[in-house]
Amino acid sequence: MGISDIRGKSAEELQSLLTDLKKEQFNLRFQKVTGELENTARIKQVRKDIARVVTLLNQNKKKAA
């Protein structure tokens, strides 16, 4: 998921996406500990996606203020 994919989303959609990504991150960490995780690169990808969404949310808050 690139930044251009999430720029057009509303604040509510970004919050929903952030929640989904955090749940996925939790599940990936759990899979890593139990030895079930096959694609370890997905952890890094999800972490970066979370950072992108949080950055956009903060930018939107600053624009609104």
Q: What are the residue ranges spanned by the domains of the chain?
A: 40-65
Q: Give the pLDDT of residue 4.
A: 87
Q: What is the pLDDT of residues 12-45, one digit of tens each?
A: 999 999 999 999 999 999 999 999 999 999 999 9
Q: Give the pLDDT of residue 64.
A: 87
Q: Give the pLDDT of residue 2.
A: 82
- The more confident residue out of 5 and 13 is 13
pLDDT at 3 over 90: no
CA-CA distance, 18 to 11, in Å (whole number)?
A: 10
Q: Are 21 and 53 spatial neighbours (Cβ–Cβ below 8 Å)? A: yes
Q: For the chain, give the secondary structure using H, E and C.
A: CCHHHHHCCCHHHHHHHHHHHHHHHHHHHHHHHHCCCCCCHHHHHHHHHHHHHHHHHHHHHHHHC
Q: Give the pLDDT of residue 54.
A: 97
